[in-house]
């Protein structure tokens, strides 16, 4: 019976973590500069270990960022840049999936089923000015950052976004 709710209240509904904002059609367009989830259809069967971890290994796991187990940025260790064992993959998954975002009160690093409200996607997309972002101060930089860091490709972003939209399942 809740399916008859009006779409005029959808702006507050997108923060519920229900994933209601992900999928084709039926929502208001995103603000300029923010990823538009209205027409996003996730790629099925994205695997954390096989599909997502290699992206982190290539872009995020250097010693300047999330590749140092003792002092990783944002207290988020994502493994080694040259391949990871099953334990490291499971630990990286747990740190993403089970932790609140540092510097963004009330947000999870990954909100299963809801990439639009997952801090990881906001940081990767550089969407810090979007309504769901609660970041203030220096946490508002796009990732990856640092010397020589290049933004992820559209295909890599789609892989991570799809993994989250599909429930952010892990090893």
pTM: 0.71
Alpha-carbon torsion, ordered 161, 163, 168, 169, to 10 deg: -170
Rg (CA), the chain: 16
> Which two structure tokens, joined as six digits, stand for 31?
């603000």
What pLDDT is attached to residue 104?
A: 75
| DSSP states of 49-79 | IIIIHHHHHHHT-STTTT--SSS-GGG----
What pLDDT is attached to residue 46?
A: 97
Q: What is the pLDDT along the chain (171 residues), one digit of tens a residue?
A: 433 333 333 333 333 333 444 444 456 666 656 778 888 999 999 999 999 988 888 776 665 666 566 666 666 767 776 778 898 889 889 889 988 887 777 888 899 999 988 988 888 887 665 555 555 554 556 666 666 667 789 999 999 999 999 999 999
CB contact at 8 A, 163 and 97 = no
CA distance 41 to 84: 29
What pLDDT is attached to residue 20?
A: 40
CB contact at 8 A, 106 and 156 = no
CA distance 72 to 31: 32
CB hemisphere CA count around 36 (13 angstroms): 12
């Amino acid at each position: 019976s809740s399916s008859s709710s009006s779409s005029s209240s959808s702006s507050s509904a997108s923060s519920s973590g229900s994933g209601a904002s992900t999928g084709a059609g039926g929502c208001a367009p995103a603000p300029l500069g923010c990823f538009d989830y209205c027409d996003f259809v996730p790629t099925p069967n994205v695997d954390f270990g096989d599909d997502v971890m290699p992206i982190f290994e290539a872009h995020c796991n250097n010693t300047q960022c999330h590749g140092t187990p003792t002092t990783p940025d944002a207290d988020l260790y994502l493994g080694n840049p040259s391949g990871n064992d099953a334990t490291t993959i499971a630990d990286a998954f747990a740190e993403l999936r089970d932790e609140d975002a540092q510097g963004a009160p009330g947000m999870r690093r990954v909100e299963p089923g809801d990439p639009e409200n997952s801090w990881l996607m906001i940081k990767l997309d550089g969407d810090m000015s979007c309504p769901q972002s609660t970041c203030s101060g220096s946490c508002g930089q796009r990732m990856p950052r640092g010397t020589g860091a290049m933004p992820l490709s559209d295909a890599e972003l789609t892989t991570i976004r799809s993994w989250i939209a599909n429930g952010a399942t892990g090893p």
